[in-house]
Amino acid sequence: KNEVEQSPQNLTAQEGEFITINCSYSVGISALHWLQQHPGGGIVSLFMLSSGKKKHGRLIATINIQEKHSSLHITASHPRDSAVYICAVRGCTGTASKLTFGTGTRLQVTL
């Protein structure tokens, strides 16, 4: 079993829909990252969370440390949101330099 599991693997939505991508992890962490990989391959950091909830524009990320689960929500989705969304967790203390990645969720938003 992978340390970081994402669901769904693939997601197709119509413009305007509310989207949720889930990430579950099995190890203790110091932080969780959500990344976006554009169709051209570039990766950008969306959020870094160690507790609670963060919001940036139409994107919302939440984390439940007790349940070892995080969600990324996209409100009013748009075709430009089409990308691969990757969850990554950072270990604690001795492994804090290590990022472990999920395999990503491929999102396609259609008109």
Partner 1 sequence: EAQVTQNPRYLITVTGKKLTVTCSQNMNHEYMSWYRQDPGLGLRQIYYSMNVEVTDKGDVPEGYKVSRKEKRNFPLILESPSPNQTSLYFCASSLVGNPYEQYFGPGTRLTVT
Which residue in 14, 64, 103, 110 binds partner 1 (CB under 8 A)? 103
The three-class DSSP label of residue 75 is coil
The three-class DSSP label of residue 74 is strand
For residue 27, state whether it binds partner 1 (rule: CB under 8 A).
Answer: no
For residue 62, state whether it binds partner 1 (rule: CB under 8 A).
Answer: no
Q: Rg of the chain's alpha carbons, rounded to an integer?
A: 14
For residue 45, state whether it binds partner 1 (rule: CB under 8 A).
Answer: yes
The C-alpha torsion from 43 through 21 and 18 to 110, rounded to 10°, is 60
Determine the interface stretch with partner 1 among 16-24, 37-45, 58-66, 68-76 (rule: CB under 8 A).
Answer: 37-45
Tokens of 30: 């110091």
Determine the interface stretch with partner 1 among 10-18, 41-49, 59-67, 73-81 (rule: CB under 8 A).
Answer: 41-49
